[in-house]
Amino acid sequence: MSLPKPWIKSNNLKRGDILALEVQRDLSLVIHPALKPRDTARFITVEVDADEHIDAIFRTVIGCYLNGYSDIELHSNRIFSVAQQTAIRNLVKSLYMRIISSNASSVVLQTLMNESMADIFSGIDRMHLITLSMCNDVVRAMKEWDHELARSVISLEEDVDQFMFFLLRLIRSAAIDPSLATKLGVDMLDCLDLQTLVDLIERVADNVYKVADSVIQLEEYKDAIPAALWGTLLQTTESSFKAYENAIEVFKSSSVEECGLIIDQQYELSKLARSITPFP
């Protein structure tokens, strides 16, 4: 098989390297280099101002992480403040990374993830199960006014965020690397749907977090809340979480018919939400 020399050079191929052939939906063939172990890390250095806000540092590191950089060096033009150092260390925990070197003005972060050994669908399942557990626990916290259980729900939201960043990086990498997509068993066209799914699961977890926080904030006023209002809120919450659970199952089964049932549930939820409006 003859291959264009510019293509061979751009992919750093040499004699004896393995190529992979992938059959597309239109039965055409795509040729791409076979997936290799990560032997060269993608490295980037980011300059951080001495007075740079921790939120800006968060956004920068997350952006580098999602764009596939495996080693990220943060370099301060002076020294990192205590707040900046603490923020960086907290962020490392959320991104499956580790600090491999650091001093007063520089820190190097390295990802612990090996894309070729990961499983997108298993990760999504685990992310969903944590979120579903949060849903069930927050309903129980509402029924029993259990503020400790509500706090437990809040703590689980960090685990969902970890999976979100992990999966988004993995999906983005698969979308631009056909060999990785093949290794992971995903169609590159499906990556957009999977990314949307991960975003929506994380959004559900965020909303559950807010419900749990509201339970904690309202506990001291619970005797002043009308029983009918709280009952309607509880019913709406339970129905919403059930619709979420059903939606994930429908997505996994790829059932077009059952999608209609999920849409119908949305209308019922809207009615429940409107029924809360007349309450003072």
Give the model's pLDDT for residue 120. Answer: 93
Work out the burial of residue 48: count CB atoms within 10 Å of its CB; fewer than 13 is exposed, 13-18 middle, 19 or more buried: buried
Give the model's pLDDT for residue 36. Answer: 56
* Residue 74 identity: L
Query: Can you read off the two tokens belonging to residue 163?
Result: 């999976």
Give the model's pLDDT for residue 39. Answer: 46
Q: Would you give per-residue pLDDT tens digits along the chain (280 residues)? A: 788 888 788 777 888 787 877 776 666 777 777 665 554 568 899 999 988 999 999 999 999 999 889 899 999 988 999 999 999 998 998 888 999 999 999 999 998 877 777 899 999 999 999 999 999 999 999 999 999 999 999 999 999 999 999 999 999 988 888 778 888 888 877 899 999 999 999 999 999 999 999 999 998 999 999 998 899 899 999 999 999 999 999 998 887 778 878 888 888 888 877 877 755 5
CATH superfamily of 43-111: YhbY-like (3.30.110.60)
Q: Residue written as tokens 């991104």?
A: 95
Give the model's pLDDT for residue 94. Answer: 83
Give the model's pLDDT for residue 278. Answer: 59
Give the model's pLDDT for residue 115. Answer: 76
Q: What is the pTM of this model?
A: 0.80
Give the model's pLDDT for residue 40. Answer: 52
Nearest residue to 38 via CA among 113, 122, 92, 94: 113
3-class SS string, the chain:
CCCCHHHHHHCCCCCCCCEEEEECCCCCEEEEECCCCCCCCCEEEEEECCCCCHHHHHHHHHHHHHCCCCEEEEEECCCCCHHHHHHHHHHHHHCCEEEEEEECCEEEEEECCCHHHCCHHHHHHHHHHHHHHHHHHHHHHHHHCCHHHHHHHHHHHHHHHHHHHHHHHHHHHHHHCHHHHHHHCCCHHHHHHHHHHHHHHHHHHHHHHHHHHHHHHHHHHHHHCCHHHHHHHHHHHHHHHHHHHHHHHHHHHCCHHHHHHHHHHHHHHHHHHHHHCCCC
Give the model's pLDDT for residue 63. Answer: 93
Give the model's pLDDT for residue 37. Answer: 52
Give the model's pLDDT for residue 257. Answer: 77
What CATH number does domain 116-276 carry, 3.20.20.80, 1.10.287.70, 1.20.58.220, 3.30.750.24? 1.20.58.220
Helix (H, G, I), strand (E, B) or coil at 107: strand
